[in-house]
């Protein structure tokens, strides 16, 4: 496949994400069985099966020299209180400096429980909704012993905690609900909000929603550490319009004091559909439109002017439309955003409204100049399939988690025999090259929550799993990072 570098400059991470890649149209044909992407390895060499250091099971394929441990498995007893079980559906995550010399992980659980059920335990008195069983677990990981030394439930009684992001001045983890269910669906309270898990808390805190940050299917957030502005992604589902938002807080340190929610729009191009037919590397000037009612009730999800949902209000005001915005991560001067199934190369799935899903897009937004651009669009599943959570590495490149939920192409991988729709961690380098860093050979589960420890020496990530014991877990990966681009 021929490449052409299309980013001459840009700002991301410590060094800046200076390039991304596009491919010629021949690469958009039916996806073959997956192979290492164009022979590039990011400087780390070819992948091979590697067994976990603490149990000997070959969960992943990784480059030579890397090792990992697994912990926090779904359904297993928690360390500090064995009467509690590690919840299911491990999703978005962040790493903070923890007590002593530990790393504190705040880990979302996208538990899609029916009313009165769920896997996130903890005190009854702190639950936001007594009929919901989602929330966040907190794990203090000791990198010297490679073990969890303490853990607890961060917040509970929330629902479908998908991803989130780091709050202003690293005061905690903003966890997001990817849903808008409420009492009409049998739950005790309205859902669809953002909550804070304080970074230094040692016990479960009462879950209090930031209602002015919007009631919609939140995916993730990222905070501008200079201004306190919070950027939010929406995943309303394939084929439905999803928006990119910002929240202008009255007080960045106290999001509960309110602020103004706005949707991104393309300047002088109201109601722009960015899901397909976009030009890579071209900056688009941005304007922002107010959301008059960020906490609508009842919610009407139709994408029609006058409807009550947050996106419908934004679309009627001229906002832009994306397809399934998922992960977002703050770099030094810009924000990188994943659209899971946007793009012109189609994966074969067609939604009920006629939208044909793509293999995914990566966008960059910069407040400097207030503009956005498409920096990468996947030409096929062998290159990148359904980007979800992402992070910026210590050396300024992207590492992207796949969530291949496509049903049409049934792609395979030689390092994961017997599995279809295999998920990987994909790197995107400053020189504009994609490469495989990890292959999930344990299951077809999505990968999620990729984040580096504050010192940059450990990569943490989740295997999402399901409700069955041991199906999901967290991994801590170490190795010769400086040998390559991450």
The pLDDT assigned to 302 comes to 58
- The residue length of the chain stands at 486
The pLDDT assigned to 26 comes to 26
Query: Closest Cα partner for 330 from 168, 480, 205, 442?
Result: 168
C-alpha to C-alpha distance for 231 and 248, rounded to whole angstroms: 9
- Going along the chain from its start, the domains and CATH numbers come out as 3-27+53-483 (2.120.10.30)
Q: What is the pTM of this model?
A: 0.92
The pLDDT assigned to 305 comes to 56
The pLDDT assigned to 31 comes to 36
Instruction: Compute how many other C-beta atoms are within 10 angstroms of the C-beta atom of residue 100.
Output: 9
C-alpha to C-alpha distance for 40 and 25, rounded to whole angstroms: 20
User: What does the block give as tokens for 100?
Assistant: 């002593």
DSSP 129: -
The pLDDT assigned to 237 comes to 83
Strand order in the sheet with 194-198: 161-166, 172-177, 194-198
C-alpha to C-alpha distance for 334 and 486, rounded to whole angstroms: 18
The pLDDT assigned to 289 comes to 98
Q: What is the mean pLDDT of each run of 10 residues along the chain (486 residues)?
A: 26 31 27 51 96 98 98 98 97 97 98 95 97 97 98 98 98 97 95 97 97 97 98 89 96 97 98 96 97 89 71 96 96 95 94 89 96 95 95 96 83 93 92 90 97 98 95 98 95
**Alpha carbon distances (Å) from 148 to 72, 80, 125:** 8, 9, 26
Residue 70 and residue 101 in contact, taking contact as beta carbons nearer than 8 Å: no
């Amino acid at each position: 496949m021929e490449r052409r570098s299309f980013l001459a400059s840009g700002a991301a991470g410590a060094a800046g994400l200076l390039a991304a890649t596009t491919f010629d149209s021949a690469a958009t044909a039916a996806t073959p069985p997956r192979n290492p992407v164009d022979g590039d390895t990011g400087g780390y060499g070819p992948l091979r099966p590697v067994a976990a250091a603490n149990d000997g099971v070959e969960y992943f394929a990784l480059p030579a020299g890397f090792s990992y441990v697994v912990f926090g498995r779904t359904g297993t007893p928690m360390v500090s209180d064995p009467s509690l079980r590690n919840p299911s559906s491990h999703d978005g995550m962040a790493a903070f400096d923890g007590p002593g010399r530990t790393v504190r992980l705040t880990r979302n659980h996208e538990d899609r429980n029916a009313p009165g059920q769920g896997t996130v335990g903890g005190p009854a008195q702190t639950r936001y909704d007594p009929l919901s069983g989602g929330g966040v677990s907190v794990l203090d990981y000791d990198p010297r012993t490679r073990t969890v030394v303490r853990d607890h439930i961060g917040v509970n009684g929330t629902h479908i905690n998908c991803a989130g992001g780091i709050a202003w001045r690293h005061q905690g983890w903003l966890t997001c609900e990817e849903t808008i269910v409420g009492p009409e669906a049998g739950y005790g309270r309205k859902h669809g909000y953002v909550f804070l898990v304080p970074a230094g808390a040692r016990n479960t805190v009462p879950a209090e929603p930031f209602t002015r940050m919007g009631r919609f299917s939140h995916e993730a957030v990222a905070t501008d550490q200079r201004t306190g502005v919070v950027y939010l992604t929406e995943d309303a589902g394939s084929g439905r319009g999803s928006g990119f938002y910002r929240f202008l807080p009255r007080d960045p340190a106290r999001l509960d004091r309110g602020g103004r929610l706005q949707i991104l729009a393309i300047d002088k191009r109201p109601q722009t559909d960015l899901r397909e037919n976009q030009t890579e590397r071209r900056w688009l000037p941005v304007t922002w439109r107010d959301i008059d009612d960020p906490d609508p009730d009842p919610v009407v999800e139709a994408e029609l002017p006058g409807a009550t949902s947050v996106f419908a209000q934004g679309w009627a005001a001229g906002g832009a439309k994306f397809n399934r915005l998922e992960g977002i991560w703050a770099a030094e001067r810009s924000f990188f955003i994943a659209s899971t199934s946007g793009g012109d190369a189609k994966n074969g799935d067609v939604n009920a409204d006629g939208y044909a899903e793509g293999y995914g897009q990566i966008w960059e937004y910069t407040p400097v100049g207030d503009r956005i651009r498409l920096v990468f669009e996947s030409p096929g599943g062998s290159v990148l399939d359904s980007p979800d959570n992402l992070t910026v590495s210590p050396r300024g490149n992207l590492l992207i988690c796949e969530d291949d939920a496509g049903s049409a192409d049934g792609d395979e991988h030689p390092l994961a025999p017997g599995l279809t729709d295999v998920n990987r961690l994909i790197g995107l380098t400053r020189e504009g090259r994609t490469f495989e860093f990890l292959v999930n050979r344990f299951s077809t589960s999505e990968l999620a929550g990729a984040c580096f420890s504050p010192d940059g020496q450990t990569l943490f990530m989740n295997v999402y799993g399901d409700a069955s014991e041991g199906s999901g877990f967290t991994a801590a990966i170490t190795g010769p990072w400086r040998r390559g681009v991450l």
